[in-house]
Chains A and B, each alone.
Chain A
């Protein structure tokens, strides 16, 4: 169903699939310049994080639209349990995140992305990013809970998107901003992806990053689900 929603709604299609593609093209073509020490390989981890944090907005819009249209109430009167509903939605959005990442990889590859890790690095990046996408789904659910309409949800989602965007993803981290960035899950994904693409797989940093991403993402999605179930459905 979500796939049909993705394909049949132009705004969704743009936000979920075309937007990451456009971003990849724009950022690699404008930022990647080996002469200035900025290779395509350096830009790609940030692009992946950037694509996945926008899932916050997609999730928030999706849930708040369904609530506004009375669909959540209606689904609540069917034999489908809350666990089945939430579980299927979370998995679907994780799959969308993976699809976004594949698009970024494919386009980046065409534009010269050649990680030191080889293809194995790309395959390892997918599950780490999928785990991170859980935090975006969780933040999307929290946004949908506190927003009355899809329009408000779009605005509020930027409260969660912008800090992650500016602390490391969009603007490189400095020693000062690093202390703030360390509170955001995107910081650990960025670090993990950089290590993975470098082929530095025996680095304990990857495991630490993956551990932090997993714990934080599961905690955020759990908070999101509980808050949405309690206050967001009606």
Chain B
């Protein structure tokens, strides 16, 4: 019975879920993850149950059920006298496409670097697919894929060789790896150039290859750090379609981008950070309504405009 209700609830957006909770006269905090809300409504939880969950320490919540793909808890990263990430708290749901926006130097890449195990946090922690970044990095590396800002590929190898090298590192069986490689090369329009060495690729082609390498290991969670930088509009649209197709596979995607329209087109939710702090969080639609803006770019400029003015 509850599984039928759950599947119905899963089709609803966060706003609708909160409306149902309101009708059922239960108060669910606004910042709780969508998956958790679905779960609570499906189980017909009472306000008291919700209070109990809220009182549980983070570790207990993770032990009892994996509600969120990523839980960032009081995360701090200090570089000498610069605080790149400042007490960041955030939950990202399984299957969600979440965009992290912010001006240059806001702390986006530092956050991704911590979540992907490249940097160690100064304080706080993050739980990725149930594993703590300060304790279980090896486990985390098995479930994530990272598309770095710079196109980090072996230039003397061709696209296929690069993809297969990283696929082998992830332990993908040979046949499945060949199929995935073919599919990805086709989807991103690199099939014809797949035997050309990466050193002969254009910037846009390198970006596409960079993205494929990040996803060849079939990660549950993908960190895409400005994946479409330097792509022409057509290539960018094609990449958007590709990213959307990942969402359909219930992958959790964390995207950073300077193209606000990209975040608006792709994201379920957006987080805007500045000076390492999360200053706004919500769906693009909610944020536009809240800030009475025509588009997300307006919201971004309204919130972070002072940084631009400071820079003038």
Give A residues with C-beta under 8 Å from B.
1, 4-5, 8-9, 69-71, 73-81, 234
Asked if residues B141 and A5 are in contact (CB atoms below 8 Å), the reply is no
- The answer to whether A74 touches B148, judged by C-beta atoms less than 8 angstroms apart, is yes
- List which B57-76 residues lie within 8 A (CB) of chain A: none
Residues of B within 8 A of A5 (CB): 154, 156
- Which residues from chain A contact B117 at a C-beta distance below 8 Å? 76-77
- Tell me the dominant secondary structure on chain A's binding face: loop
**Consensus secondary structure, chain B interface:** loop
CB-defined contacts of B154 to chain A, threshold 8 Å:
1, 5, 71
- By a CB distance below 8 angstroms, the chain B residues around A81 are 138
Q: Which single residue of chain B is at the shortest CB-CB distance from A5?
A: B156
Known contacts: A70-B150, A73-B148. The answer to whether A79 contacts B157 by CB under 8 A is: no
The yes or no answer to B5 lying at the interface (CB within 8 A) is no
Nearest chain A CB to B173's CB is how many angstroms away?
15
Contact of B142 among A69, A75, A76, A79 (CB under 8 A): A79
Q: CB-CB < 8 A to A9: which residues of B?
A: 156
Residues from chain A with a CB closer than 8 A to the CB of B155 are 69
Once bound together, how far apart are the Cα atoms of A4 and B117, in whole Å? 29
- Check if B169 sits within 8 Å of A70, measured CB to CB: no
B156 and A77 form a contact (CB under 8 A)? no
Are the CB atoms of A4 and B152 closer together than 8 Å?
no
A141-B172 Cα distance, complex, nearest whole Å? 30
* Contact residues, B90-125 vs A (CB, 8 A): 116-118
Task: Chain B residues near A74: list those with CB within 8 A.
Answer: 146, 148, 152, 213
Q: B171 to A79, Cβ gap below 8 A?
A: yes
Known: A8-B197, A69-B155. A78 touches B150 (CB 8 A): no
Q: 5 tightest A-B contacts by CB?
A: A70-B152, A74-B152, A77-B146, A8-B156, A70-B150
The smallest C-beta distance from B129 to any residue of chain A, in angstroms, reads: 13
Q: What residue of chain A has the Cβ atom nearest to residue B145's Cβ? A: A77
Q: Are A78 and B141 in contact (CB under 8 A)?
A: yes
Q: Across the two chains, which residue of chain A brings its CB closest to B115? A: A77
Assess the B138–A73 pair: CB atoms within 8 A. no
Q: Whole-angstrom distance from the CB of A74 to the nearest CB of chain B?
A: 4
- Chain A residues closer than 8 Å to B159, beta-carbon distance: none
Contact A79 B170 (CB under 8 A): yes
| A69 partner residues in chain B, CB cutoff 8 A | 150, 152, 155
Bound together, the chains give a CA A9 to CA B157 distance in angstroms of 10
Q: Is the CB of A78 within 8 A of B217?
A: yes
- Residues on the A chain within 8 Å of B165, using CB: 1
- Is residue B127 contacting chain A, with contact meaning CB distance below 8 A? no
Instruction: Compute how far the CA of A127 lies from the CA of B186 in the bound complex, rounded to whole angstroms.
Output: 47
Please tell me if B161 contacts chain A, counting CB pairs below 8 Å. yes
Q: Cβ of A73 and Cβ of B118 under 8 Å apart?
A: yes
- Known contacts A1-B154, A5-B156, A69-B155; is-contact A78 B166 (Cβ 8 Å): yes
Chain B residues with CB under 8 A of A8: 156, 197
State A234–B113 Cα separation when bound (angstroms).
11
Complex: A70 Cα to B151 Cα, angstroms:
8
Q: Is the CB of B197 within 8 A of A79?
A: no
Nearest residue (CB) in B for A65 is: B155
Among B142, B152, B157, the one with the most A-chain Cβ atoms within 10 Å of its Cβ is B152
Q: Is the CB of A80 within 8 A of B152?
A: no
Assembly CA distance A5 to B169 (angstroms) = 18
The residues of B that contact A234 with a CB separation of less than 8 Å are 118
Residues of A within 8 A of B141 (CB): 77-79
Closest to A233 in B: B118
Scan residues 165-191 of chain B and give those whose CB is less than 8 A from a CB of chain A: 165-166, 169-171
